[in-house]
Amino acid sequence: MSELAIPDMSLVVLIGASGSGKSTFARKHFAASQVLSSDYFRGLVSDDENDQGASADAFDALHYVAGKRLARGLVTVVDATNVQQRVRARLVELAKAHDVLPVAVVLDLPEAECVRRNAARPDRDFGAHVVQRHVRELRKSLKWLGKEGFRKVHVLRDQSEVDSARFVQEPLRNDLRGETGPFDVIGDVHGCRAELEELLGELGYAVERDPAGRAVGAAHPEGRRVVFVGDLVDRGPDTPGVLRLAMGMVEAGNALAVCGNHEQKLARALRGRKVTVRHGLAESLAQLGTEDPEFVKRAEVFCDSLVSHYLLDEGKLVVAHAGLPAQYHGRASGRVRSFALYGDTTGETDEYGLPVRYPWARDYRGSAVVLYGHTPTPEVEWINSTMCLDTGCVFGGKLTALRYPEREVVSVAAHEVWYEPVRPLVPAVEEREPTALALADVIGRRVVETAELGMVTVREEQTAAALEVMSRFAVDPRWLVYLPPTMAPADTHKEGPVLEHPREAFAEFGGLPVVCEEKHMGSRAVVLVTRSPDVAPRRFAIEGDGAVYTRTGRTFLPAPLTSSLLTRVRAAAAGLWDELETDWLLLDAELLPWNAKAGKLINEQFAPTGAAAAAALPAAVELLSQAADRGVDVADLLTKTRTRETNALGFRDAYRRYCWPTSDLDGVRLAPFQVLAAEGRAFHDRPHVWHLAVAAKLRAADPELFTETRYLEVDTADPSSVAAGVRWWEDLTAAGGEGMVVKPAANLVRMGRKLALPGIKVRGREYLRIIYGPDYTDHLDRFRDRKLGKKRSLALREYALGLEALERLSRNEPLWRVHECVFAVLALESEPVDPRL
């Protein structure tokens, strides 16, 4: 029995004359979906499997489908004669285009056998000469298949070989997904042996030495392993020493190493190839010159054997010397290796004559963490889940390791400048990118995976609408790390003089303890405040103190006022930085008064209504009274008009309560009610009383700016507690309050398997005049059939997206991952919903 090895993800090309039994063979060894047969595709495009005139179209379609499979990394078998070189060339190209390996499997059976089989098939009406030609072409090709680009060639010469063949799928050399670590990934060493030994010590490894005292290995007591990102050699003072240590670790299974461009070149030089000796190769060659030849041979074999990248920890970690974009992870091709060793360049060179590197990490959108080196930078930093660990040790910088999965950075300083840099060290992203966001991150139909609600879908027209708002009106996306969800009102109260009542809100959270919070009639505000001016550039990649924005991402105040507001928030938060172990805070708040943001709306809609009503109604009452005095029968109309007058005055009083004059920050008040996030964590698992206690601390520090949010805890299972809640709401609204928000006391809760709404609003009778019109109280029944389903569903989806944004933010995920959620909230808000809800 012969084993035919095929690499994972490969394109298997069957080669054989008509009648050689390829289809039977393919059926035996592969699933039907893996085999793409030219006959079948001819049938698909022309209704006739034997219509040779349809071959061109059939192969187009076959290649298209094969491409889709290879892009997914699926083994794909092409069942066609493939006896001609030009036909095979297209398949080799296809494999390369998807960075997978092509494999040839040749069924080189005797011509007579093929002819006999064809003759036995009624649908094959072509003569023996066709088979003859196939066999001739096949034989001619055989010895060139390797040269054509096939990585493996298996030839089966008779039926018994065909019958006994068995395929074995081999993982690629880069595929170490089963190795789950933990790892300590070390940046470019470049012959700095002393620093490497020191770093290994810092990382907790015990260095092993030979009798001469030379480090020949290192092991970690907890079984951690090192991954070298390549460029162990060249430039530095002791390349042989570094190799001795690294080789020992790799051979003992204590380390993995990927190939750097310097290992690649050193191996070539040691093999005696002609290479240009520069960039520190001369030092390595000189140092190795004093070593014994056996060691040099060992070094050559080691460098030559290194794989260009590794896929580790179930595909969650990729290590490649110069980094690797997502579509190359786990793939094998010349260009994958080239990228992994040399990175991507723009084709331009800088003023030092060095190639200008293309910032691939900026566009990286993969889920795997990519760790790499190659480009020295003064400080490591995360860029879209990637990190460059080359901190220029040989140039006098430091040698850096990243503990994975802990994501802790460990560095030791260079002992001296071992090699003068050609150009000064520059940060990985030279200047702060004004935006690292791409259009493809936000537009089109999007599905955002949320922890609390699974997939949330946003339709294309919704993202299209949001793109305009986000681009033209919103604050910089680096500040816009969260948008609050819309809030649904309580189910409509079925009788009596009110449309909304606490009873329905308590029923919503049936049995759970809830907190009733006073609803401030202002504008929802998200406040991002930093502890000091250096925080935002470091944490949010933007200059500034923070931001204060509305629920559609717009700024509230002109820049200088925002700045003074943030200064006051920062001062008030002085006690919170240490308590919450953070140097920035994201707060959910209400900004008062209403007219601070809604001034235009009030002056164009609400106040004119009040003004017109206040002028017309008393005049009408007077005229009707005169007519009544004359004996004209207008009694009914007069009564109605008097009621209307009362309603209109009530309407005016309703909005007046939420307005007061402001001048700059004077009169502006902030009512925070939730701490959304701080460094490394979100707070939706803390009960609301905790959040309100934080708000109280802010208020204690600056009572002029911060306003109290009154609240009452209610046990919805206890009738007397519920009654107290109802009374509390009645008192609140009778005194002119907008109403209250009922929230689950524990904050984020599930009711059974369902995510509970974060809050339900219960608005007061007088307040609702602003929403439903001055006279709505005379026609309550007309409004009772309002539909709440859409609003509630929207509120829940936006809530889940907001939570997801906060979780991603607290995990320090790349900006685009956070923005994706925030953008989706804004996009959902373009959904038309009854604005009165």
Partner 1 sequence: MPFVLMTLSTTARPATDLGYLLFKHPAKAQRFPQSSGTAHVFYPVAGEDLCTAALLLDVDPVALARNNRGREGYVNDRPYAAGSLLAVTLGSVFRTAMNGRCDERPELAAAAIPLAVRLPAVSCRGGAELAERLFAPMGWRVEARPLPLDPEFPEWGDSHHLDLRLTGELRLADALRHLYVLLPVMDNTKHYWVGEDEVAKLIRAGGDWLVAHPERELISARYLAHRRGYVRTALERLAELDDTPEEEVDEATDEPVVRPLAVVRRQAVLDALREVGARRVLDLGCGPGSLLLDLVADTSFTELVGTDVSSVALTIADRRISRLPDRARARVAVRQSSLTYTDPALAGFDAAVLMEVVEHLDPSRLAALEHVVFAGARPEHVVVTTPNIEYNPLYPTLAAGAFRHPDHRFEWTRAEFREWADGVAARNGYTARFLPVGPEDPVAGSPTQLAVFSKVTKEVAA
How many angstroms separate the CA atoms of 513 and 312, rounded?
46
Q: How far is the CB of 440 from partner 1 (least distance, A)?
A: 8
Q: How far is the CB of 560 from partner 1 (least distance, A)?
A: 13
Q: Does 96 bind partner 1 (CB under 8 A)?
A: no
Contact pick of 603, 703, 718, 754 for partner 1 (by CB under 8 A): 603
Contact pick of 774, 814, 825, 828 for partner 1 (by CB under 8 A): 774
- Cβ proximity to partner 1: between 692 and 828 the closer is 828
Residue 88 makes CB contacts below 8 A (sequence gap 6+) with: 13, 15, 82, 104, 141, 145, 148
Strand 681-682 with 669-678, pairing:
antiparallel
Contact pick of 148, 775, 812, 813 for partner 1 (by CB under 8 A): 775
From the list 47-55, 316-324, 343-351, 380-388, the region that binds partner 1 by CB under 8 A is 343-351
Q: How far is the CB of 389 from partner 1 (least distance, A)?
A: 26
From the list 278-286, 322-330, 473-481, 667-675, the region that binds partner 1 by CB under 8 A is 473-481
Restricting to residues 477-516, name those near partner 1 by CB under 8 A: 477
- Cβ proximity to partner 1: between 372 and 823 the closer is 823
Side chain identity, residue 531: R
- Say if CB 499 and CB 837 are below 8 A apart: no
Residue with tokens 């794909």: 76
Restricting to residues 373-392, name those near partner 1 by CB under 8 A: none
Angle between helices 55-71 and 85-97 (to 10 degrees): 30
- Cβ proximity to partner 1: between 178 and 631 the closer is 631
Residues contacting partner 1: total by CB under 8 A? 72
Q: How far is the CB of 81 from partner 1 (least distance, A)?
A: 40
- Cβ proximity to partner 1: between 105 and 659 the closer is 659
Angle at 603 between CA 601 and CA 604, to 5 degrees: 65
Q: How far is the CB of 476 from partner 1 (least distance, A)?
A: 6
- Say if CB 456 and CB 447 are below 8 A apart: yes
Q: How far is the CB of 445 from partner 1 (least distance, A)?
A: 13
* Per-residue tokens: 768: 């609702």
Q: Does 322 bind partner 1 (CB under 8 A)?
A: no
Strand partners, 481: none
- Cβ proximity to partner 1: between 86 and 630 the closer is 630
- Cβ proximity to partner 1: between 403 and 640 the closer is 640
From the list 160-168, 228-236, 255-263, 604-612, the region that binds partner 1 by CB under 8 A is 604-612
* Per-residue tokens: 322: 């110069």
Restricting to residues 241-270, name those near partner 1 by CB under 8 A: none
- Cβ proximity to partner 1: between 609 and 721 the closer is 609
Q: Does 472 bind partner 1 (CB under 8 A)?
A: yes
Residues in the chain: 837
* Per-residue tokens: 513: 């303890």
How many angstroms separate the CA atoms of 712 and 715, rounded?
10
How many angstroms separate the CA atoms of 65 and 757, rounded?
45
Residue 777 makes CB contacts below 8 A (sequence gap 6+) with: 497, 647, 765, 769
How many angstroms separate the CA atoms of 800 and 37, rounded?
46
Contact pick of 24, 164, 305, 349 for partner 1 (by CB under 8 A): 349
* Per-residue tokens: 517: 């919070």
Strand partners, 16: 107
- Cβ proximity to partner 1: between 125 and 351 the closer is 351
Q: Which residues of 309-323 are buried (b: 16+ CB within 10 A; e: fewer)?
A: bbbbbeeebbbbbbb
Restricting to residues 553-582, name those near partner 1 by CB under 8 A: 559
* Per-residue tokens: 605: 């809609």
Q: Among 350, 340, 346, which residue's Cα sits nearest to residue 306? A: 340
Q: Does 771 bind partner 1 (CB under 8 A)?
A: yes
From the list 45-53, 248-256, 341-349, 733-741, the region that binds partner 1 by CB under 8 A is 341-349
- Cβ proximity to partner 1: between 619 and 717 the closer is 619
**C-alpha distance from residue 134 to each of 22, 127, 156, 176 (Å):** 13, 12, 16, 41
Contact pick of 178, 347, 497, 510 for partner 1 (by CB under 8 A): 347
Q: How far is the CB of 345 from partner 1 (least distance, A)?
A: 11
How many angstroms separate the CA atoms of 213 and 216, rounded?
9
Residue with tokens 């919704």: 462
- Cβ proximity to partner 1: between 113 and 476 the closer is 476
Contact pick of 459, 772, 788, 812 for partner 1 (by CB under 8 A): 772
Q: How far is the CB of 785 from partner 1 (least distance, A)?
A: 13
Q: How far is the CB of 596 from partner 1 (least distance, A)?
A: 13
Q: How far is the CB of 788 from partner 1 (least distance, A)?
A: 16
Q: Does 605 bind partner 1 (CB under 8 A)?
A: yes
How many other CB atoms sit within 10 Å of the CB of residue 271? 11
360 membership: H or E segment, kind and range = helix 360-363
Restricting to residues 650-669, name those near partner 1 by CB under 8 A: 652, 656, 659, 661
Q: How far is the CB of 403 from partner 1 (least distance, A)?
A: 33
Q: Does 344 bind partner 1 (CB under 8 A)?
A: no
Restricting to residues 607-646, name those near partner 1 by CB under 8 A: 607-617, 619-620, 622-627, 630-634, 637, 640-641, 644
Q: How far is the CB of 763 from partner 1 (least distance, A)?
A: 14
Q: Which residues of 156-192 are buried (b: 16+ CB within 10 A; e: fewer)?
A: beeeebbeebebeeeebebbbbebebebbbbbbbbbb
Contact pick of 353, 510, 752, 789 for partner 1 (by CB under 8 A): 353
Restricting to residues 19-78, name those near partner 1 by CB under 8 A: none
Q: Among 538, 603, 597, which residue's Cα sits nearest to residue 562? A: 597
Strand 11-16 with 35-37, pairing:
unpaired
Q: Does 521 bind partner 1 (CB under 8 A)?
A: no
How many other CB atoms sit within 10 Å of the CB of residue 115? 20
- Cβ proximity to partner 1: between 150 and 540 the closer is 540
Q: How far is the CB of 603 from partner 1 (least distance, A)?
A: 6
Restricting to residues 408-467, name those near partner 1 by CB under 8 A: 433-435, 437-443, 461, 464-465, 467
Backbone angles phi, psi at 398, to 5 degrees: -145, 165
How many other CB atoms sit within 10 Å of the CB of residue 423? 12
- Cβ proximity to partner 1: between 190 and 478 the closer is 478
How many angstroms separate the CA atoms of 96 and 338, rounded?
13
From the list 33-41, 220-228, 561-569, 769-777, the region that binds partner 1 by CB under 8 A is 769-777
**C-alpha distance from residue 710 to each of 357, 361, 487, 599, 696 (Å):** 57, 48, 19, 26, 10
